[in-house]
Every structure is written in structure tokens, then in C-alpha cells.
């Protein structure tokens, strides 16, 4: 029997939860800066980075829409604005695509 062994991610998660808010802000800032430096070193063609960011944005909108539809079924009165939020996210994404592609109506 292993006893009370925890996964490393659980240990880190528990440690972060126990930190004061200022330390959490510092950690978030440090991780963000490290991620930006990593992206700067790894990505050679920054046009592809923009395309990847748009793909992640579209994926996030679809996940958000699915979550809104799921929670709307569970908590109907508390999420009355869910359809409005999902329409706003879809419209925002469509307008951004139109702006970046240079389409003219």
C-alpha cells in the first residue's frame, strides 16, 4: 500500500491555494511573462501565431456556448441571459473574422 501519496499536480495546487492573494498575483504574472518569452523564442512565423490564436478563440466560444446550454437546462432562472451571452460571443467572433479578412458588404 502506498498510503497517502498525492500526485505532484495536487501538491502544487494545494500549495498555491494556501498562498496569500499577493503571491497568487505574482505567480500569475510570472507564469504569463514566462509563457510570452517561450512563445517569442519558439514561434518563428508570427502570422501563424495569429491564426492559432483565432482557432483557440473559436474553440473557446464553442465550449462556452456548450456550457451555457448545459447550465441553462440545470439552472433555468439563474442563467436567463445565457442565450444573449452566446449570441454576443458569436457576433463578436464573426465581426472579428470580417475585420481581419477585409470583407466589405
Print pLDDT tens along the chain (105 aa).
Answer: 455 678 888 999 999 999 999 999 999 999 999 988 888 888 777 767 777 777 777 787 777 777 766 665 555 544 566 667 667 777 877 777 777 766 665
**Would you say 60 and 52 are in contact if contact means Cβ atoms under 8 Å apart?**
no
Distances (CA, A) of 95 to 59, 71, 83, 98: 16, 26, 18, 5
Residue among 90, 101, 87 nearest 50 (CA): 101
SS3 call for 6:
coil
- To the question of pTM greater than 0.75 for the whole model, the response is no
Count of residues in the chain = 105
Amino acid at each position: 500500500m502506498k498510503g497517502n501519496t498525492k500526485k505532484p499536480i495536487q501538491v502544487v495546487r494545494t500549495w498555491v491555494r494556501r498562498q496569500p492573494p499577493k503571491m497568487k498575483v505574482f505567480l500569475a504574472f510570472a507564469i504569463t511573462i514566462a509563457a510570452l518569452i517561450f512563445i517569442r523564442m519558439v514561434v518563428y512565423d508570427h502570422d501563424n501565431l495569429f491564426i492559432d490564436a483565432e482557432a483557440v478563440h473559436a474553440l473557446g466560444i464553442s465550449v462556452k456556448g456548450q456550457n451555457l446550454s448545459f447550465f441553462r437546462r440545470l439552472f433555468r432562472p439563474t442563467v436567463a441571459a445565457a442565450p444573449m451571452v452566446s449570441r454576443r460571443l458569436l457576433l463578436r467572433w464573426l465581426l472579428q473574422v470580417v475585420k481581419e479578412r477585409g470583407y466589405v458588404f
